[in-house]
Amino acid sequence: MLKHSKEIFDILSKGGFLSLNSVVQANRNYYDVIEDGFDAYRDYYEGVGFVLESGNGYFYFSRPEPKVNAVDKLARFCDWIDRLDFLKTFNSAFGSGYVFTKAKILERISCDIELKEKVSKLYADKKTHAEVIEKLVDDLEKIGFVEQENELEGSYKVTAAFHYLEEMVNCLNIVEGATDEVP
């Protein structure tokens, strides 16, 4: 029997990640368990329709999808491109292991015109910069790209799973003169 298969499934099946540098000890343990028996876990989850994938310090599930779902997924990914652009504009070192606070981001927005422009485009339904940053960090945390490191200080640590987002953006080929059509 595979150790922690239910707990691992509960995290990964919701679109989450398990990262090598997780703040949560249980998640680091799950990562280690998968790493030690990757083939067995991959075969096990494949039997229930999920593909266990490994990245640079993280694990996640993928599933083969029809073309229609792939188009929807690409549209959702465009939102993540904007979020990544905002975070890298905030600090180019924003990546695995980086520690930040919401307050520090808000402080930078207040004195950086480029960040002000970018933050206003992230979430149309949010009125204030504080609401946008709250939603952004919440989204990053839900998927496993960041974890709260210190509740008292309000600090967050970027996990290795953030590489997934960076790698996806790096894989995009922008063709000069291309139209806005999605095949």
Could you tell me the two tokens for 178?
């291309």
- Maximum distance among all alpha carbons in the chain? 55
Binning pLDDT at 50, 70 and 90, where does residue 92 land?
Answer: very high
Per mean pLDDT, which range of 33-42, 71-80, 127-136, 174-183 is the poorest?
A: 174-183
Question: Quick one: CA torsion of 125, 75, 101, 134, rounded to 10 degrees?
Answer: 20
- The pLDDT mean for the chain works out to 90
* pLDDT value at residue 173: 56
Once rounded to an integer, what is the mean pLDDT over residues 74-86?
87
User: How many CA atoms lie less than 13 Å away from 50 in the CB half-sphere?
Assistant: 20
* pLDDT value at residue 130: 96
Residue 169 clears pLDDT 90, i.e. is over it? no
Domain ranges in the chain are 5-62, 67-171
What is the gyration radius of the CA atoms in the chain, in angstroms? 18
- CA atoms of 125 and 145, how far apart (whole Å): 23
**Structure-model confidence comparison of residues 135 and 75, the more confident one:** 135
CATH class in words for 67-171: mainly alpha
Q: Of 14-18, 77-81, 157-161, which has the strongest mean pLDDT?
A: 157-161
Structure confidence by residue, pLDDT tens digits, 5-52: 999 999 999 989 999 999 999 999 999 999 999 999 999 999 988 999
Once rounded to an integer, what is the mean pLDDT over residues 84-106?
97
